[in-house]
Amino acid sequence: MTLETASDGAFRYETEGGVTVTRRRRDVAYAGAIEPYVDRLDTRRGAVFSSNYEYPGRYTRWDTAIVDPPLAVTSSGRHVRVEARRRSTLARATTAIINTVRTVGSARPANSA
């Protein structure tokens, strides 16, 4: 895996499955930063992950959110569904998803016969 830094400070790399991942990070004031994302999730798909635990020198508070993700993963029992939310995502992600599911599907727990 090769990690490159873009001119705007984003990090970009390509997975073994050929999917290009770009990550952009922005520092914002903590107070009130997550509420706009939470509000959008009333009518759109996405998720908010948050930790309010803080311990000096070890842990800090953090939040991360995504609204309108490119892929939706849902499951019920042993059935998993992966849905590309945009046509452009489908073409790029299909091979990586299929290869990953095949790998996971062929794995057996250590105590299985």
Give 47-106 pLDDT, tens digit per residue.
999 888 888 888 877 888 889 888 888 888 888 787 877 777 666 666 667 677 666 655
pTM strictly above 0.75: no
8 within a domain of the structure (yes/no): no
pLDDT at 110: 46
5 within a domain of the structure (yes/no): no
Give 24-43 pLDDT, tens digit per residue.
877 778 788 888 889 999 99
Query: Which domain does 99 fall in, by range?
Result: 70-108
Domain total of the chain: 2
Look up residue 43 and give its DSSP letter: T
- Are 45 and 34 within one domain? yes
CA distance 95 to 71: 14
Closest among 85, 66, 82 to 23, alpha carbons compared? 66
